[in-house]
Amino acid sequence: MAKTILCPYCLHEIPQALARQGKKCTACKREFPGRYLKDYQREPNVVISVVGFSGHGKTTYLASLMWLLQKKLGRYWGSAKRRFIYDPLRADEDFKIMEDHINDLDQSILPEPTQWSTFPKPTVHRLLQIPYLSNWRMIICDTGGEAFNDLKRFGQRASFVQRSSTVLFLVSLPHLKGLDPGLEMGKLLKNYRDGMEGMGADTKKQKLLVVYTLGDALIKNGWLQKYPEISDYIGTGEAKKLDATGMVHYLDGLRKISTELETFTLKKVRADHFFSIGKDEFKDLTFCICSSLGAPPSTEEFIINGKKRSKLTQKINPRRVIDPLLWIIDNACTERNPLKERIEKPIRRL
């Protein structure tokens, strides 16, 4: 049994006895979310921080991912006897912000730009009976573009970014129109690396997973003209109706697309500097691509609660938004279990 409890907010390991006694973190003083302590021993953690330029689709991505987990995958994954279960730990106000985003998206309303005051804190989600990949607890936070500008000023959130095992680096190439996208990506990653170094943290302990967002716009704007495998991949949709065998095939597909995207990054985006920092200075560098909405949003605006909001003309239709999560969990499974065991026992029991 683990002797410590990982605080989901600052990611410090807290001695179990102290955590259970005070029901809050001795480092950041925040109370643990409901049931967190009770359920703690049941699943291993995967910790993900989402970073990227402002406006590149971080909040929409997270809302779309949660929408999919909450509304769809329980019906699609597993068998009648062993369905996938999504169990978020609804803590307090923090979770409410996320739920508002999910409910908005369900009604085709897009999130507003994230303000500092409404920045969601890390949230905790139990993911149970994932075909082939078993049970995990995801701790995830939209850490925002600020992480790149001044990590130190970032206070509590800096601790989360520093200690996350995986950084999801969201990039929207259409938003870098008119700039040199390769150069901008390189600058941003260098800032991040320097910020981490400045705090005495080591990027070599972190996995870097690049997620190209707005896949629909990349197809529409001709970015993927010479990369039909990638545009077909986005076009063919989400990880539906997967059982254990289906998941093994799906994960193979992810690896292939990551390799294609590596070529795309070097040849089309020309992000050589970015690529070399990612390869040399992080534990691992891999790539995904997705479309959180499935189609470009309309520019039509309307007023809700006195605020201008944009609305989609159709229902959201997420494409490949689950991929980063599956990558991370698959990697974490491989780290925990020898490869041999996974082949012999593809389905892990609860």
Which is nearer to Zn ion, 25 or 89 (by Cβ)?
25
Total binding residues toward Mg ion, as defined by CB under 5 A: 3
Residue labelled with tokens 């307090």: 92
Partner touching 54 among ligand GTP, Zn ion, Mg ion, none, CB below 5 to 8 Å by kind: ligand GTP
- With binding defined as CB under 6 A, does residue 237 bind ligand GTP? no
- With binding defined as CB under 6 A, does residue 324 bind ligand GTP? no
Judged by CB under 5 A, which of 27, 199, 266, 295 binds Zn ion? 27
Judged by CB under 5 A, which of 10, 171, 173, 242 binds Zn ion? 10
Under rule CB under 5 A, which residues in 181-210 are in contact with Zn ion?
A: none
Provide the minimum distance between the beta carbon of 59 and ligand GTP in the complex, in angstroms, as a whole number.
Answer: 3
Q: Exposed/middle/buried for 340, CB within 10 Å: 0-12, 13-18, 19+?
A: exposed
- With binding defined as CB under 6 A, does residue 57 bind ligand GTP? yes
- With binding defined as CB under 5 A, does residue 165 bind Mg ion? no
Judged by CB under 6 A, which of 164, 165, 291, 331 binds ligand GTP? 291
- With binding defined as CB under 6 A, does residue 60 bind ligand GTP? yes
**How many other C-beta atoms are found inside a 10 Å radius of the C-beta of residue 41?**
11
Whole-number Å distance between alpha carbons of 35 and 130 = 21
Whole-number Å distance between alpha carbons of 243 and 278 = 33
Burial letters 171-197, b for 16+ CB under 10 A, else e:
bbbbbbeeeebbbbbbebbeebbebbe
- Pairing of β 166-171 and β 78-79: unpaired
- With binding defined as CB under 6 A, does residue 167 bind ligand GTP? no
Which is nearer to ligand GTP, 292 or 331 (by Cβ)?
292
- With binding defined as CB under 5 A, does residue 172 bind Mg ion? no
Total binding residues toward ligand GTP, as defined by CB under 6 A: 23
Under rule CB under 5 A, which residues in 58-117 are in contact with Mg ion?
A: 58-59, 114
**How many other C-beta atoms are found inside a 10 Å radius of the C-beta of residue 151?**
24
299: which residues sit within 8 A by CB, 6+ positions away? 310
Partner touching 203 among ligand GTP, Zn ion, Mg ion, none, CB below 5 to 8 Å by kind: none
Residue type, 214: L
Burial letters 78-93, b for 16+ CB under 10 A, else e:
beeebebbbbbbebee
Cα dihedral value 17, 23, 25, 29, nearest 10: -140
- With binding defined as CB under 6 A, does residue 113 bind ligand GTP? yes
Total binding residues toward Zn ion, as defined by CB under 5 A: 6
Whole-Å CA distances, 189 to 2, 213, 240, 277, 299: 34, 17, 33, 8, 31
Please report, as ranges, the residues that interact with Zn ion according to CB under 5 A.
7, 9-10, 25, 27-28
Please report, as ranges, the residues that interact with ligand GTP according to CB under 6 A.
52, 54-60, 110-111, 113-114, 144-145, 213-214, 216-217, 291-293, 296-297
Please report, as ranges, the residues that interact with Mg ion according to CB under 5 A.
58-59, 114
